[in-house]
Amino acid sequence: MARTTTTGRPGLWPSEVLVTDAVGRLIEFWGFKRNMGRVWAVLYLSTEPLTAQDLRDLLGLSSGAVSMTLHELGRWGVVKKVWIQGDRRDHFAAEVALWRMISRVLQERERTEVVAAIESFEEAMRALEARRGSGDARDRARVELQTARIRGLLDLARMGRQLIEALLSTAKLDAGPLSRLLLGGSRPS
């Protein structure tokens, strides 16, 4: 017999439990909170917007955890409030355009961190350049070693920035056909 929530909604199906747990683990691996992935996945798989109470009941979370999670997901633009006529409660729906979500995270988090790393590596190179030619042989060897190694880090970070920017520029294209092909959906004719 299917479990129901306090609002009368049926509980999660086994398929939904598997997906919400998998998305939660994936999101946690990427450095976010596990419940962010779980809440988003429940909303993503739902046929209709859900209330915070529905999410609490379905996932067994506290009111505070659901509230904070919905706030964070809203800030990232992956969950939005939805108005339901005749109901004063807030309802929530997931962003379903997966590439839009991924590109936002790449833009706001990964790209920002890579750019900050590039700036630090460039500053370190300037600091080493100021030391070049001074000190004893041991200091000069240290400068040369660090210059070569930091240059390698700088090159890698610049390549990472280029990769992220290339991925972000493709977000403007319709990646639907490629996604369907790669994910085993219908094949283009």
> Which CATH number is 61's domain given?
1.10.10.10
The reply to whether 113 falls in a domain is yes
Best CA proximity match to 7, nearest among 49, 38, 36: 49
In terms of domains, do 102 and 58 share one?
A: no
Q: Work out how many domains the chain is built from and give that number.
A: 2
Domain boundary (42, 77, 94) is at 94
Same domain, 66 and 81: yes
In this predicted model, what pLDDT tens digit does every residue of 60-98 receive, in sequence order? 999 999 999 999 999 999 999 999 999 999 999 999 988
Q: Where a domain ends, among 94, 110, 138?
A: 94
Least confident of 22-26, 66-70, 98-102, 137-141: 98-102
Q: What is the pLDDT of residue 176?
A: 60
**Domain end (from 94, 129, 149):** 94
Instruction: Name residue 4's beta-bridge partners.
Output: 10
Average pLDDT over residues 164-171: 81
Regarding whether 123 and 53 lie in a shared domain, the answer is no
Where is 82: in which H helix or E strand? Answer: strand 79-82
For the chain, give the mean pLDDT. Answer: 88
Domain containing residue 124: 98-182
- What pLDDT was estimated at residue 88? 92
43 and 70 share one domain? yes
Q: What is the pLDDT of residue 102?
A: 84
- State what percent of residues in the chain have pLDDT above 90: 69
Residue that is written with structure tokens 């919400």 in the block? 20
- Whether 26 maps to a domain, the answer reads yes
In a domain, 2, yes or no: no
Rounded CA separation 89/100 (Å): 27
